[in-house]
Structure 1
Amino acid sequence: MAEALKTRKMLFTKQAVVDYMGQGEAAVLSLIKKGLPVRIEGRRWFAYVDNLEAWMQRWTLVSYEGQELPEDSE
């Protein structure tokens, strides 16, 4: 049964989501509060990679053109 749960498109742990996003845990939690599509049930995390990608594409469409960038941005 465990074999049936393995897929490249689904992430099943907090660490898997953090690793996939390439950000620290605090940054990922901040993105979740902004709407990143991650389901958290108790201690289990569930995320569909295609949903993460689609959300990030929409979220990054916002431009800072004409605005001052935060000084601590990398």
Structure 2
Amino acid sequence: MTEKLKTRKMLFSKQAVIDYIDQDLGEAAVRSLVKKGLPVRIEGNRWFAYVDNLEAWMQSWTMVSYAGKELPEDEEE
């Protein structure tokens, strides 16, 4: 059964998705997240995404434990 959307808010452009995720990340970083599975629908030059789907994906994607593991090296200082 599909989970009901909490906010039903939808984003209708690439820039809206970038701004929602975090405008400091920039387009390249958001495109990288899309390639990793960020739930965005792209039709031509238009991007569509439900905020609830973005939130759920980010929560799931960031639920990582490094307990007992070596942390990845920082790429930027």
- TM-score, reference length from structure 1: 0.79
* Residue number in structure 1 paired with 2:21: 21
Q: Normalized per residue, which structure has more helix?
A: 1
- Cα deviation code 1:40-72 (max 9, x no counterpart): 000000000000000011111112223332332
Identity percentage of aligned residues = 81
Structure 1: stretches of 5+ with no match in the other structure: 1-7
Deviating beyond 6 angstroms after TM superposition, the runs of 4 or more aligned structure 1 residues are: none
Q: Which has the higher contact order (CA 8 A, sep 6+)?
A: 2
The 10-residue stretch of structure 1 (14-23 or 63-72) with the greater mean CA deviation from structure 2? 63-72
Number of aligned positions between the proteins: 67
- TM-score, reference length from structure 2: 0.76
* Residue number in structure 2 paired with 1:52: 54
1:67 and 1:73, CA in 2 relative to 1: closer, same or farther beyond 3 A?
farther
State how far apart, in whole Å, the 2-side matches of 1:64 and 1:46 are. Answer: 33
